[in-house]
């Protein structure tokens, strides 16, 4: 299998744009993990994508806005909201590198229901928020539990950002220049391509973290040690193309 090269520039989408979103004020927090930890959590036909011999777990927080479906104008239903996702990195038999989402927490119930119905993504309804600080950003999430007497998994993150420097190296591109995602749909694995302008990435430092989301996503113990990469981006405008199923 020949794995595609990592490029800061997205390949052009083929066919119509099926969805578009704004992604703003993104914190990328990543940990190295053995490939054996990730492999059982990937959909059929996808194996761990490795950098420097390791697979990686990402905990990503950001504001999502201006969501639209196809050629329609932005929908006011979902609005703008903070999203927190746990993600892995995989590659298929065609050598395509993509993201695999283990969970996506968002505060807009209409957006959660639409994403689960239209794209079979594992969105969870949560109370989410973010705010700027003197030197960075703070993010928070608490998943809404089915039982009013119990609390769902929670998340709190604070990052300090260095806006005077940028990062563009092999690892940062491996973790962020991802031009598609893999997901399980109708008993098969689907590839959904996306494109956006190249990331502008700044170095960042975690100044506070409390997280239950990684453990809830089948990755216990990850956040008990310091992250191996922390980045921040002001954001991009993302577009998604029509999905296709992996060959059996």
SS3 93: coil
Read off the pLDDT band of 247 (50, 70, 90).
confident
Q: How many residues does the chain have?
A: 248
Residue labelled with tokens 């002001």: 234
Read off the pLDDT band of 151 (50, 70, 90).
confident
pLDDT of residue 69: 78
Average confidence score pLDDT of the chain: 94
Read off the pLDDT band of 45 (50, 70, 90).
very high
CATH superfamily assigned to domain 17-245: Acetoacetate decarboxylase-like (2.40.400.10)
The mean per-residue pLDDT over the stretch 23-29 comes to 98
Position with higher pLDDT, 78 vs 120: 120
Q: Are 193 and 241 in contact (CB under 8 A)?
A: yes
Read off the pLDDT band of 71 (50, 70, 90).
low
Read off the pLDDT band of 207 (50, 70, 90).
very high
The Cα 248–Cα 244 span in angstroms is 12
- Give tens-digit pLDDT for 108-139: 998 899 889 888 899 999 999 999 999 999 99
Going from the C-alpha of 146 to that of each of 109, 110, 143, 216, the distances in angstroms are: 14, 17, 10, 15
**Is it the case that residue 149 has pLDDT exceeding 80?**
no
pLDDT of residue 114: 85
């Amino acid at each position: 299998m020949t794995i595609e090269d990592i490029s800061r520039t997205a390949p052009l989408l083929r066919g119509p744009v099926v969805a578009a979103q704004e992604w703003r004020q993104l914190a990328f927090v990543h940990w190295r993990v053995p490939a054996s930890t990730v492999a059982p959590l990937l959909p059929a036909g996808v194996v761990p994508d490795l950098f420097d011999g390791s697979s990686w777990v990402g905990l990503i927080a950001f504001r999502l806005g201006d969501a639209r479906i196809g050629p329609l104008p932005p929908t006011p239903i979902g609005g703008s909201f903070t999203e927190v996702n746990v993600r892995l990195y995989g590659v298929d038999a065609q050598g395509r590198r993509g993201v695999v989402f283990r969970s996506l927490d968002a505060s807009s119930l209409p957006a959660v229901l639409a994403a689960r119905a239209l794209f079979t993504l594992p969105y969870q309804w949560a109370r989410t928020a973010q705010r700027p600080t003197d030197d960075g950003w703070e993010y928070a999430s608490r998943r809404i539990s089915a039982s009013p007497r119990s609390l769902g998994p929670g998340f709190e993150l604070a990052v300090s950002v260095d806006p005077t420097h940028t990062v563009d190296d092999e690892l940062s591109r491996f973790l962020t220049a991802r031009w598609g995602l893999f997901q399980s749909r109708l008993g098969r694995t689907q590839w959904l391509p996306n494109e956006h302008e190249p990331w502008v990435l700044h170095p960042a430092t975690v100044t506070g973290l409390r997280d239950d989301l990684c453990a809830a996503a089948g990755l216990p113990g990850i956040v008990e040690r310091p992250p191996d990469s922390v980045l921040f981006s002001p954001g991009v405008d993302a577009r998604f193309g029509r999905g296709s199923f992996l060959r059996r």
